[in-house]
Chains A and B, each alone.
Chain A
Amino acid sequence: MSGRTPEFYVAPTEAPPSRRPPVTSIGPLGWVRANLFSSPANSVATVITLALVIWFIVSFLSWSIRSAQWGVVYNNLRLIGSGLYDRREIWRVELSTGILVLLTGLSLGIWARVARAAFVAVLVTLGIILLVPILAARIPQPTIHTLIEPRKSPSDFVFVGYKGETVSFTLAPQIDLADLDKPMIGFIEMQSRAEWSTQARQARAGELDLAAYNLVVSLRLVDKTGRTVSTPDGPAEVRFGPDAPGGELEATLPADGWYVLKVTRDDEANGERDDNQGYAWLRIDGIELFSSQEGRTATREAEFGAPPQVERPLYAEEKAYRFEGTRTFGEFINLQIAPFFERIAMPLALGAALFANGWVIGVLGKRERVVRRWTLISWLVAAPVILIILRGFGGSRALPLVSTSVWGGLLLTMLLTIVGITASFPLGVALALGRRSDLPVIKWTCTLFIETIRGVPLITILFMAKLIVPFFWSGLSNIDLTIRMMIGLTLFSAAYLAENVRGGLQIIPHGQIEAARALGLNPFLTTTFIVLPQALRAVIPAIVGQFISLFKDTSLVAVVGLFELVGIVDTIVSGQPIYRPYQREAYFFIAIVYFVISYAMSDVSRRLETSGAGSLRQ
């Protein structure tokens, strides 16, 4: 072909063999090129956005790993979970959760196809949660610091030790200004920290002469009975005086149980107490701080007996210390993640087992009508049963009344959400149908209701439910606050749902209704079988969006005095002084909880949209 188009062309009988496309247009490279750097503007946007995202992730991880203190979360899991719910009756919350988990497993087994990847992900997560605490036990414990002062009598350090563990105690006199600049990493006893901050400031200002150190301190490690522990070099006992002001005492523990490090300061060596000068840090290695939680205290005392009585005890108990300094990743796992996982591992494993049971039954029985029918019936029965289990009866011994005013935490958040969803959905559909009714009175009433509710903020509705409604109608003041909040949330959510559903009703072609009428279906059957299924499916995203809003809006009931997730975290960080510095951690944690649940809801919504008949439209 010489430049000019020939008048006549016939393709050769053999088609040329297919070749691979150029490497820059396929595979990862092609993708990057086409999506990330397709134009100069796109390249700039990609780089800037990625930089921002990376910066955010890195700073968050750095905070979370190096300095965040998640103890406020893992020491308060019961409060976060069920609020002030009577702790002797907590099994009722657990039982209710168990019922829900079992039914969820059963239903998913029957009706859902679960991707293998999801399975693996769940198993891996569970495995990590179970394994991390075990592995973390091998990571060395951070150093514990307590200050020896010239005037205040030193405390005896009481701790739990295990056979074969090596513990070491180091006395480090602070005799040099340079010592002040050395970073301290580990647990620092909080009063010591406060005292040392003051003294260090004075030393820097020249008002305190550190070099004048003259303390004489003896350390002696005794077991529970008061006998001195023996080491290969003799009894575990050492005295630090003017010639050797600091040093180490090391011992291998002979048995499991309580130990006391007796700390005595010899005041007579300097004449009397007022002549003591200087400060020294006592550093303790190889010991794990124990939890301050009541349940764990009880377990510990059952195992090792009550802690030994000493005159001025300083217990190796978490709540007396604060972690300082930049943590390593190992310490992060050991101090922050492991205790958390350790506390949730058992309940999670039980829950997973229950879920798996339900799921297996569901999968095996999915073809059996009986199984399906009973699952549906169980769901219907479960709701009232759970409410009865949780609330109980006045005067009953097996199920004593637990007033709804002490329901709290995630329990209350979930109850408000579930009740709100199940009650507002039918109400919203009814309102939407009512607003499109041919009967003017019904239509106007529904419209008035919807527009009124949509015209006021949720918080005012909640306050009205709390304050104004009982004022108008005294009968309502007997209904307790939690129920009134449920009603308020339901009405609010129903009004918005009604508008969403109405949007769905409007897109149903008139031909559908005509076809149904021509077949002899009455208006009720037409609505039930033809209009609503199509209308609701069309607005699933909007409806689930409303449910997610409802879930998040339950946090507003904290303002009227209920202790759901936000309310209980408020109470924890303001009510327990030791957790006051850790508001960030606490609120961050519940943010994650809210996110995980919201995300799960929207994921379910996406699956519903693309499943079954909804994806096959004309």
Chain B
Amino acid sequence: MGNDNSNEPIIICRDVNKWFGNFHVLKDVNLEVQPQEVVVIIGPSGSGKSTFIRCINRLEEHQEGQIIVDGIELSHDVRNIAAIRSEIGMVFQQFNLFPHLTVMQNVSLAPRYVRRQPRRNAEESALQLLARVGIPEQAHKYPGQLSGGQQQRVAIARALAMQPKIMLFDEPTSALDPEMIKEVLDVMKELAQSGMTMLVVTHEMGFAREVADRIVLFDEGRIIEMGTPEHFFTNPQHERTKLFLSQIL
């Protein structure tokens, strides 16, 4: 399947358009993401940034344009979708942990039944991942017994368990109490440093400034401005960008 030739973009979006009914959500979105790149997507609510990253693992279908992930174009072909989903991990705003399964089962479920790993291997790697996100001691608890920050870290471990090449983060800290945001961001930083390709929708400007290779500003369904954090925070060009930054900084 894919290769790690770093000259080839791992995600290519060309003229992506999407409608919800008559509402035009994504308008001619073009974006290429290089392997190991961290792209932070910011923008006001309803600007289509979440919809955009959900299109990348086809939780939403785009109607026009091309999305190519690791050399595979997203189409109606079910095999393609399965192949791409196993390349992409996703972390949701609401964690979406499986409440009826223990932390361990949450993390090892997909490797066991999608990758068909033996139970013991799956559980060993799950423990390693839980250690990596800093909560190995919670393995046998249920999600409902953990704090929000811990749950989100489990969600990250769960996504990593499939050994994805790309991680999508859809506002991972928006549902957290302020004192728990840092623990999640620290995990994400560590992940970025390890060379994971990441697309992060977030409002955490500190994170964006510190970790992102590129920042993308969405508004009204299209990309308004794109650039390095330095460019973005010190020398924004578009009026909309300036307005947005002035409101949130």
Interface residues of A (CB under 8 A from B): 509, 511-512, 514-522, 525, 529-530, 533-534, 537, 613-614, 616-618
Contacts and interface: CB of A to CB of B under 8 A. Distances in A.
Interface in B83-108: 85-86, 88-90, 92, 94, 96-102
Contact of B159 (A517, A519, A613, A618): A519
Interface in B109-123: 109-110, 113-114
Contact of B110 (A519, A533, A616): A519
B201 to A, nearest CB: 14
A385 B89 CA distance: 48
B98 A518 contact: no
Given A519-B109, A521-B113, A514 B96 contact: yes
Contacts of B82: 520, 522
Among B88, B89, B90, B96, chain A packs the most CB atoms within 10 A around the CB of B96
13 contacts: A509-B96, A514-B92, A515-B92, A515-B96, A517-B85, A518-B85, A518-B88, A518-B89, A533-B100, A613-B99, A616-B144, A618-B99, A618-B143
Contact of B99 (A514, A521, A534): A534
Nearest to B78: A522
A520 B83 CA distance: 8
Top 7 nearest A-B pairs (CB, nearest first) are: A515-B96, A519-B110, A518-B90, A511-B96, A520-B86, A616-B144, A616-B142
Interface residues of B, number: 30
B198 interface: no
B30 to A, nearest CB: 24
Contact of B158 (A517, A519, A533): A519
Contacts of B96: 509, 511-512, 514-515
Contacts of A616: 99, 142-145
Given A519-B159, A617-B144, A511 B94 contact: yes
B131 interface: no
Q: Is the interface of A mostly helix, strand, loop or mixed?
A: helix
Nearest to A510: B96
A608 to B, nearest CB: 13
Interface string B147-163: 00001000100110010
Given A534-B100, A616-B145, A525 B114 contact: yes
Given A520-B82, A520-B85, A520-B162, A515 B99 contact: no
Contacts of B98: 512, 515-516, 529-530, 534
B99 A519 contact: no
Contacts of A534: 98-100
Among B88, B100, B143, B145, chain A packs the most CB atoms within 10 A around the CB of B100
A517 B142 contact: no
A422 B98 CA distance: 27
B57 interface: yes
A301 B142 CA distance: 67
Contacts of A517: 59, 85
B100 A613 contact: yes
B248 to A, nearest CB: 26
Among B89, B94, B98, chain A packs the most CB atoms within 10 A around the CB of B98
Nearest to B82: A520
A469 to B, nearest CB: 41
Nearest to B161: A519
